[in-house]
Structure 1
């Protein structure tokens, strides 16, 4: 067997309320980039389904910026490390790594010759540094602030100038190189969130939590004007981005708007109203060629339309938190991946890379498991103590299609005839036609996972004691007939093959055991290979293969009849769930 990477489905930016999100742009105008977790995500701006991901940071990455040459990207993380890596090769080889200060890096800027880098953030003894990209040698001192520095930018024309914005309500102006502090700018009454020079270097602006945007001379730092007069926005301004011709800029605000400004006139040409919900607060923006992008608190990336400010041209949806559950289903002849994340969001992904979601209010906490039943309903269970039934054709949550559980559900499985098995903390619940019909409680074991046989006649429940109990489904009840089989350790996941011939069980002892159903659940084979707890599995449509994922950050694809015939796939993070669109190649 062999495998090849077909698609990368990128996450959204990881957002935090009240914290600006920096978007970087490729100098050629083709790509944009942002961070999520320990990854830097690069996306094609014309077709954002085309994505690349850099995953070499050992800590959470906070900001990434292209060098003006376009050949390298500098990315900074919460530990204070800056990694400079290649953009031209698929491997993204590391060129240099530095630690300019100890603490979270919040912004990065390059000089126009791609030879010097400035970075700022939450240092302990200092809040910023400027250094040569190839040696790490200092080329100035970033001083003049008493608190965290949020933003930095460097004038892209000579003579070089550098400006910073801080939580001390001040901006600071520097001349260089070597860069030396010249004076503080004290026009803001609250945090300075963003500072940016115009591409031609003639001006720079500062944006703050006080809703103000001030304009200054790029060479002297002399104040020119305040955009919008008394106030630019009704809420804090988190980001600004200049047009390529330096005559306009866009600003993103917590008042849920993005504004397009005529810099010369100091007035807003267009106001983009992004919504009324708190998740519609705008925390980042980027002007890249003809594209105007903004990022909402939800993580959604909006392509703004100058001719229709109340409706974006496109909204890129997806997940900004870790994905915990997956399933796949074919609808109207097309395959869709349904995924549930740590924050309760469920995403609908077509294999073309287009993301969508259900309308209305859904789960409010981690989605632990999901499956699609024979009525085309997505059945999901969540740590909000509910099991939901959502039509995949209507794509709308319904308050009536929700079953409140007595305790937190951990696992669901579906079978024909509207049957659903929900495994909860200390309980096993049988549901039929979206109603609870039978509950097993007072158990002498802790149930961890469950699986309904596709025919609906048997419910298998795996326990923390390493035993799998086989209950008979009789009408609306589960009957314990004393039949059990043994896994090698505490059960973590389980699933019947599509044809019901096999039951695969994963456990904490790093083993997957497959039982032959027709042979009285005798052990067909044990599968060894993982170096840490196995947490999830999925069957292929051909019923001859299955995949397992473990905390060793490995995926194995196994052949049921031959445990030695396996495919080993390293992944960049711990697999939490699987679906199969089987396209393996056999020699």
Structure 2
């Protein structure tokens, strides 16, 4: 028995309204990178389905940048730690770790020889530092600002120059090394609001500053003298959050809160192309990157847009996915193709087609959930049934991809299960609700236990409900009612999940005491086996299509693959998701397992028994 990680469907960048997002580019032009929570995500720019995740920071990471050599990446977190790590090895070995100041690191810049690093942000005593990458020794001082510094860049040609942009509405200019403060571009003459981004052109002749006042100014890269204001009095109608230069320094792109990205011809000072990204608030553009022939921008939604110069109204590609914790996953085969459906704590449901070489992501049209999606299953009619903390259960037609039918619950549903005959069971706080054909048909209140999870037997007729008292309660479905059988099954502790095998022969139950118990249904729910191995609470279960094996995921970040007939025959996947517990599992086929976690990524594993 063995396993192998086949694919990582990485999370999107974590976005915050009104805060620019730095996207780093690989100097060879092959990859781009960004951050989400404690992860740094590296993606192939030609095929963003190829991804790698660095997870060694103990605190949320805000920025990561490649060294010009391409061999190392420097990443900075909210505590002020900067880690410099290797890009050539799969393990990403740590080379150095420094703490230039205590507080958020918001931007990083390297000198072209990959020997010096500048970091800026929100320190307590200072807002920036410049040091040698291999010793941490200071090579100058970043002064001249009295508020948070949002952005820094270093001229990539000698003589070196360094520039910073701050919340004090000013830009500071430095000469070096060692870098010394030269002067500040005065507030009255230039930007009237926060400076969000500063970037030198690759040839070093110019640098651009972008501000929340909608203006972009160009300065001489060597002297710091103002050269022009792009677009005259205003470059954008909204705040400008990021700029990125073309490799030949003749053009740049700018991303704005007015929901557009503009492509500027620097010499003639005109916007050659305006990319209109939408009308919703989530279409605000907070980051951009010009990498080889690719023009990328990042929306407030976290979506990564590949801009099309020939068709400004429609991106070439939009990389969708999750930017928040994923709570549930299910799979379904439709028209000969497999799909993975996942739901996150912002109510977003994502559609992933793993067979497609580009790992296409999509979403449903229509109004979806407005809060955390806690459970999802596909019923016999090919509808996705989801329950959410917005106190609703939704039925979504998977062919039309339209979230249409909605059932309002009296109390918050925790999970939902489906069975034959159009039945569904919603397990709510202190309540069980039986649904038939998308309508509530029976409610059971005043329970003697607190229900936590539920399952419907595939053959119909039976509902199993797990309680916080460590017991499984069995009910008969009689017409439109639920009737207690008076039969209970006992497990080791409070129940977290329970699932019938696809053929209905077994019921697997997981509990908080780290045990999975399997009962044989045909033998009157006699105990078949108990499975031990997890180091912490077991959270979720999923049966393989072969009904011989099942998977369990726990708070210990481990996934176990079990054989029903032999509790000792198992496969352990340690650190399946490095930073968070396993939140949900599903089988694409009997040799492919899908796992999700609060790291907002989806992983696909190949399993051999």
The normalised TM-score by structure 1 is 0.99
Q: Secondary structure, in 3 states, of the residue corresponding to 1:417?
A: helix
Tell me the distance in 2 between the aligned counterparts of 1:52 and 1:261: 32
Partner of 2:10: 10
Q: Secondary structure, in 3 states, of the residue corresponding to 1:122?
A: strand
Does 2:376 align with 1:373? no
Does 2:582 align with 1:575? yes
Q: Secondary structure, in 3 states, of the residue corresponding to 2:418?
A: strand
1:310 to partner: Cα distance = 0.6
Within a 5 Å distance, the mapping from 1:175-214 to structure 2 comes to 175-185=175-185, 186=187, 187-214=190-217
1:67 to partner: Cα distance = 0.5
Tell me the distance in 1 between the aligned counterparts of 2:164 and 2:573: 44
Which residue, 336, 344, 348 being the options, matches 1:345?
348
Which residue, 331, 334, 339 being the options, matches 2:337?
334
1:585 to partner: Cα distance = 5.3
Q: Deviations over 1:231-265 (max 9, x none)?
A: 11111000000011101100000000000111112
Which residue, 252, 256, 261 being the options, matches 1:258?
261
Q: Deviations over 1:512-565 (max 9, x none)?
A: 111111111111111111111111111111111111111111111111111111
Contact 2:418–2:456 (CA under 8 A) maintained in structure 1:
yes
Within a 5 Å distance, the mapping from 1:206-245 to structure 2 comes to 206-245=209-248
Partner of 1:488: 492
Q: Which runs of 5+ in 2 are unaligned?
A: 592-605
Partner of 2:29: 29
Identify if the C-alpha distance between structure 1 residues 297 and 428 changes in structure 2 by more than 3 Å, giving closer, same or farther: same
Which residue, 420, 423, 426 being the options, matches 2:424?
420
Within a 5 Å distance, the mapping from 1:172-571 to structure 2 comes to 172-185=172-185, 186=187, 187-351=190-354, 352=356, 353-398=359-404, 401-570=405-574, 571=576
Contact 2:255–2:285 (CA under 8 A) maintained in structure 1:
yes
Contact 2:467–2:495 (CA under 8 A) maintained in structure 1:
yes
1:481 to partner: Cα distance = 2.0
Q: Secondary structure, in 3 states, of the residue corresponding to 1:232?
A: coil
Q: Deviations over 1:29-72 (max 9, x none)?
A: 11111111111111111111111111111111111100000011
Detail structure 1 runs of 4+ shifted over 4 Å in the superposition. 584-587
Q: Secondary structure, in 3 states, of the residue corresponding to 1:120?
A: strand
Tell me the distance in 1 between the aligned counterparts of 2:316 and 2:265: 22
Contact 2:561–2:572 (CA under 8 A) maintained in structure 1:
yes
Aligned-residue CA RMSD (Å): 0.9
Tell me the distance in 1 between the aligned counterparts of 2:228 and 2:403: 49
Q: Secondary structure, in 3 states, of the residue corresponding to 1:193?
A: strand
1:484 to partner: Cα distance = 0.5
Tell me the distance in 2 between the aligned counterparts of 1:300 and 1:166: 26
1:417 to partner: Cα distance = 1.2
Tell me the distance in 2 between the aligned counterparts of 1:183 and 1:454: 74
Tell me the distance in 2 between the aligned counterparts of 1:494 and 1:104: 43
1:122 to partner: Cα distance = 1.1
Q: Deviations over 1:161-190 (max 9, x none)?
A: 000111111111111111111111131111
Q: Secondary structure, in 3 states, of the residue corresponding to 1:139?
A: coil
Tell me the distance in 1 between the aligned counterparts of 2:472 and 2:321: 36
Contact 2:59–2:77 (CA under 8 A) maintained in structure 1:
yes
Count, aligned residues: 585
Partner of 2:124: 124
Q: Deviations over 1:374-416 (max 9, x none)?
A: 1110000000000000011111121xx1000001101011111
Contact 2:4–2:607 (CA under 8 A) maintained in structure 1:
no
Q: Determine which structure has greater relative contact order: mean sequence separation of CA pairs < 8 Å that are 6+ residues apart, divided by chain length.
A: 2
Q: Secondary structure, in 3 states, of the residue corresponding to 1:3?
A: strand
Does 2:65 align with 1:65? yes
Tell me the distance in 2 between the aligned counterparts of 1:521 and 1:205: 71
Contact 2:346–2:371 (CA under 8 A) maintained in structure 1:
yes
Within a 5 Å distance, the mapping from 1:147-186 to structure 2 comes to 147-185=147-185, 186=187
Q: Which runs of 5+ in 1 are unaligned?
A: none
Tell me the distance in 2 between the aligned counterparts of 1:370 and 1:487: 25
Q: Secondary structure, in 3 states, of the residue corresponding to 1:6?
A: strand
Tell me the distance in 2 between the aligned counterparts of 1:110 and 1:475: 70
Q: Secondary structure, in 3 states, of the residue corresponding to 1:279?
A: helix
Tell me the distance in 2 between the aligned counterparts of 1:208 and 1:95: 35
Tell me the distance in 2 between the aligned counterparts of 1:554 and 1:60: 22
1:303 to partner: Cα distance = 0.6
Q: Secondary structure, in 3 states, of the residue corresponding to 2:424?
A: strand
Does 2:50 align with 1:50? yes
Which shifted more, 364-373 or 573-582?
573-582
Tell me the distance in 1 between the aligned counterparts of 2:505 and 2:143: 69
1:586 to partner: Cα distance = 4.9
Identify if the C-alpha distance between structure 1 residues 332 and 200 changes in structure 2 by more than 3 Å, giving closer, same or farther: same
Tell me the distance in 2 between the aligned counterparts of 1:225 and 1:576: 52
Tell me the distance in 2 between the aligned counterparts of 1:106 and 1:91: 25
